[in-house]
Amino acid sequence: MSESLIKSSALMAAGTLISRITGFIRNILIVALLGTSLLGDSYNVGNTMPNILYNLILGGALTAVFLPQIVRAAKDPVGESLFISRLVTLVMSILVILTVIAMIAAPVFLALYAPSFDGREARVTLLFIWFCLPQILFYGLYALLGQIANAKGSFGPMMWSPILNNLVVITLFGYFIFIFDDISLNTISDGDVAIIGLGTTLGIAIQAFALIPVVKRLKVGIKANFKFRGVGLGKSISLGSWTLLYAFITQIGFVITVNLGTRITKEAAVLANDSSLLASGLGFTPYQNAYLIFLLPHSIFAISIATAILPNLARKVQVNDLEGVRSELIHSLRLLGVVLVPAMIFFALFGQNLSSAIFFGIPLEDARFIGKLLSAFALAGIPLSLNMIFTRSLNAFENTKFQVLANVVINLIAIALSLLAYSILEIQWKTFGMAISFSLSYLVGVFITYFGLRKYLHLLPHRLYLALYLKLALISSMLFVVAIALQQVASRMGLVQINPGWGNTLYLVLVLALVTPLYLLIAKKLGVKEVDEVVTVFTRGKVAP
Is residue 276 over pLDDT 60?
no
* Separation between Cα atoms, residue 472 and residue 35, nearest integer Å: 38
* Separation between Cα atoms, residue 400 and residue 69, nearest integer Å: 14
* Separation between Cα atoms, residue 465 and residue 33, nearest integer Å: 44
Higher pLDDT, residue 491 or 24: 24
Is residue 494 over pLDDT 50?
yes
pLDDT recorded at residue 123: 94
Mean per-residue pLDDT for 455-470?
A: 80
**Winning range, highest mean pLDDT, from 58-62, 375-379, 448-452:** 375-379
Provide the pLDDT confidence category of residue 480 given band limits of 50, 70 and 90: very high
Task: Yes or no: say if 310 and 67 are a contact pair by the CB < 8 Å rule.
Answer: yes
* Burial (Cβ within 10 Å: 0-12, 13-18, ≥19) of residue 324: middle
User: Does pTM top 0.75 for this prediction?
Assistant: yes
Percent of the chain scoring above 70 in pLDDT: 79
* Separation between Cα atoms, residue 489 and residue 477, nearest integer Å: 18
Instruction: Output DSSP code: residue 501.
Output: T
* Separation between Cα atoms, residue 218 and residue 227, nearest integer Å: 24
| Closest listed residue to residue 24, CA positions, set 210, 221, 300, 236 | 300
* Separation between Cα atoms, residue 304 and residue 532, nearest integer Å: 17
The residue ranges of every structural domain in the chain are: 3-538
pLDDT recorded at residue 272: 64
Mean per-residue pLDDT for 340-356?
A: 92
For residue range 149-165, list pLDDT tens digits in order. 777 766 667 777 889 99
* Burial (Cβ within 10 Å: 0-12, 13-18, ≥19) of residue 25: middle
Instruction: Output DSSP code: residue 115.
Output: T
Is residue 345 over pLDDT 60?
yes
Q: What are phi and psi of 36, to 5 degrees?
A: -115, 20
